Structure 1
């Protein structure tokens, strides 16, 4: 497990859809509420995202969404831009029945990594980042134990 404990950078992802698939303005961390936040990074073509990442996210959202935990899903397009498209956001939102904001993060002109990967120091997908209510990154890694996180946040 990677713990960072630094202040979470503001999101710089520019393209988003809301819980119903409609385009929305860029999301900020404060848009996710004042409590803990879970950010999930994926790629549409990533087998691990579909096999492990999205099912873990579904479990977390079902258990913690009603308790005020904020969620956002970000497609980090560091490869495969032809398959990991803005249109696939809605496909995955519907497939996994996740009424959450989904962002599409391609590298800005002249850069090789998407802003989320750069700012949050992620190393691929599926990737979970957990931010505490104070805005500090408390978890950032590939594998998240959903049951442990649900228990920990349930006690908070």
Structure 2
């Protein structure tokens, strides 16, 4: 089995729907569902963001943190912070949303996670380790099962690296 690695830190320049900056370390003890998106991405608007909103409403916040990451790698002038704030208001998105820090050629967090594009779904376990990374749409029931599996793992074990692994198809104990 491959060794599990810590999820890379987020590089966020601004947070929306949060009174203070958020860090991955601040979510230890919770499963983190990170969804990447762009405002002008049809798949993000039609599928990815509604899925994040459903997860935010469904899972207890003390067990699962749902985070959006606006990661712009095209149409930079159209997708600025002001436009994103209006978008978040119009779509009534309640979960925290970070604006990925621009980088060259890709935004910093997008590059750290080696993402192919948006929408992408990332799951981070309660110990801060990257457990799943999927590009494109994933089924709600499948995603819920993956989150449920991560929630049932015992907290505080030293390392699952020899007994657990995640592939693009999901996590296995």
TM-score by length of 2: 0.74
Contact 1:18 1:101 (C-alpha < 8 Å) held by counterparts: yes
User: In the alignment, does 2:61 pair up with 1:80?
Assistant: no
User: In the alignment, does 2:110 pair up with 1:117?
Assistant: yes
Contact 2:13 2:101 (C-alpha < 8 Å) held by counterparts: no
Structure 1 residue aligned with 2:13: 14
**Residue 56 and residue 154 in structure 1: after superposition, are their counterparts in 2 closer, same or farther (change >3 A)?**
same
Q: Based on CA coordinates, which of the two structures has the bigger radius of gyration?
A: 2
Contact 1:14 1:105 (C-alpha < 8 Å) held by counterparts: yes
Compute the RMSD of aligned alpha carbons. 2.3
Which is further off, 128-137 or 138-147?
A: 138-147
How many equivalent residue pairs? Answer: 148
From 36, 40, 44, the equivalent of 2:35 is: 40
1:6-155 alignment runs, 5 A limit: 6-19=5-18, 24-25=20-21, 27-66=22-61, 68-108=63-103, 111-141=104-134, 142-154=136-148
Measure how far apart 1:67 and its partner are: 5.8
Contact 1:42 1:74 (C-alpha < 8 Å) held by counterparts: yes
- The 3-state SS of whatever aligns with 1:144 is coil
Measure how far apart 1:96 and its partner are: 3.5
- The 3-state SS of whatever aligns with 1:133 is coil
Measure how far apart 1:124 and its partner are: 0.7
